[in-house]
Every structure is written in structure tokens, then in C-alpha cells.
Amino acid sequence: MTGQELVAFAKSKLGVPYVYGMKGKVMTEAIYNSLKKAYGNLVWDSDKQKIGKVCCDCSGLISWATGIARNSQNYHDTALEVQPIATIANAPIGVAVWRKGHIGIYIGNGEYIAEDGSAYGCRINKLRNTNFTHWLKLIDIDYSGQEDTEMVEKSKIIVNGKEYFVDRILKDGTNYIKIRDLADTFGYTVSNNGSIPVLTKK
């Protein structure tokens, strides 16, 4: 599994409720009672309302994706690389963002996705709103050949009232779209005059 595949998997789980100790399975009353007995106040009384739903915790989201069960500390201890969170701009998509007791997944543009606690479930949030201390290259994820530090997504643009779909990167609130992609969409050829792109109608 690549970093971008991990991000895509996590995004498909947005809204999945958080329960400490769950790993992406349906929580039964028996499982709830067992977790409550094992973990005490880490499992909220209000989590009982989630019985019958698929639930997950922070490390469980990654384990669910990879099929390899680890807790947040084990992800740190087995990481291929551990770097301070201040250097996250140098990290590829799909690295873990970590602090003691919590873990999430970096999705680019200063954001992460995580099972963020019983009050929130799986959500996207800004890194600046958190106290993560490090980012990790996870041992179970393949980052080779992944040069882009931002997620390329298929997005809709509107030109003269018509909708088109193109690949884009959203970084720091700005959309970046390849000139060649725009040219192909609108029927232009691309050449260069020195370092200046030249678009010619086909």
C-alpha cells in the first residue's frame, strides 16, 4: 500500500465513529462491555450509543487499511523514519503524524485525517490545531517513487458556465493545475518559446 492509497482509504472512512480499542469492525454490546472493562474511562459511557455500528480508534484506522494490527506507540517504534513535526512540509503524502497516545495521517496542505476521539470520529483537521510532535514513515507503507508532497485529486472547474474535471493540487489555499492538462481539456496544443509555454488552438 502506498501513502496515497492510505490517504484514499482513510478518506473513505470519514464519519466512522471513534471507540478506543476498535479496529474497523461492528461493535456489539459484548465488545463494548469488554472494552469498557479493559480500558475504563478511555471508553466513554456515551460510546454505548455506537453499538451496532462499525467503529475504530486512531491506530485502528491505519491497521484497518494495512491489515497489520499495531498501536500508536508501535507505529512510532517501528517507523522507518521519525522527524519533528516542524518539518512536515518535506514529508510525502501518507506519513503518520504522531504524539504519545495519538496518531493520524498527513494528507497534504497542512491537514491530516484521523479517528480524532469519541467526540469527533474520523475527520479532517488542520495540523496547526493539534499538538502532534513528529511525523513517521510507516514500516507498512511504501513511499518509494512518491515525490509529490501534496495529494493530486480529480476536481471540477467551471469555464464559461460549463463543468470540466481536471487533476489539481490544492496547496496553501491555491489551486495548481498543469498547463498540459488544461490544454488537453480545451483543445489546445502546448509548445515552448524558451521557458514560456505557448498554447495554440488545435
Instruction: Give residue-wise pLDDT tens across range 166-190.
Output: 777 666 556 677 777 777 888 888 7
* Mean pLDDT calculated for residue range 186-197: 78
How many percent of the chain have pLDDT more than 90?
A: 67
Q: Which CATH class is domain 3-138?
A: alpha beta
Dihedral (CA of 133, 139, 141, 142) sign: positive
The kind and range of the H/E element at 179 are helix 179-186
41 torsion bin: left (phi>0), alpha (psi -120 to 50), beta (else): alpha
Of 82-86, 118-122, 152-156, minimum mean pLDDT range: 152-156
φ, ψ (nearest 5 deg) of residue 129: -90, 10
What pLDDT, on a 0 to 100 scale, did the predictor assign at position 101?
95
**Residue 160: what pLDDT?**
81
Helix, coil or strand: residue 121: coil
> Mean pLDDT, to the nearest integer, of 2-22?
96
Average pLDDT of the residues in 132-139: 97
Band the pLDDT of 121: cuts 50, 70, 90: very high
Each residue's pLDDT tens digit, 18-77: 999 999 999 999 999 999 999 999 999 999 999 999 999 999 999 999 999 999 999 999
Beta bridge partners of 114: 123
- Give the relative orientation of helices 3-11 and 58-66 as an angle to the nearest 10 degrees: 120
Cα 119 to chain centroid distance, Å, stands at 19
Residue 148 has pLDDT above 70, yes or no: no
Residue 13 to residue 186: CA distance in whole angstroms: 35
Q: Specify the pLDDT at position 116.
A: 96
pLDDT over threshold 90, residue 199: no
Mean pLDDT across 106-133: 94
Task: For residues 2-7, give the mean pLDDT.
Answer: 94
In angstroms and rounded to an integer, the radius of gyration of the C-alpha atoms of the chain is 21
Residues of the chain with CATH 3.90.1720.10: 3-138
Cell of 48: 454505548
Question: Does pTM top 0.85 for this prediction?
Answer: no
* Partners of residue 167 on adjacent β-strands: 154
Q: What is the pLDDT of residue 166?
A: 75
Distance between CA atoms of residues 96 and 116, nearest Å: 13
Residue 104, phi then psi, degrees to nearest 5:
-140, -170
For residues 178 and 60, give the distance between their C-alpha atoms in angstroms, rounded to a whole number.
36
Partners of 136 in the β-ladder: 82, 96
Residue 75 near residue 62, CB atoms below 8 Å: yes
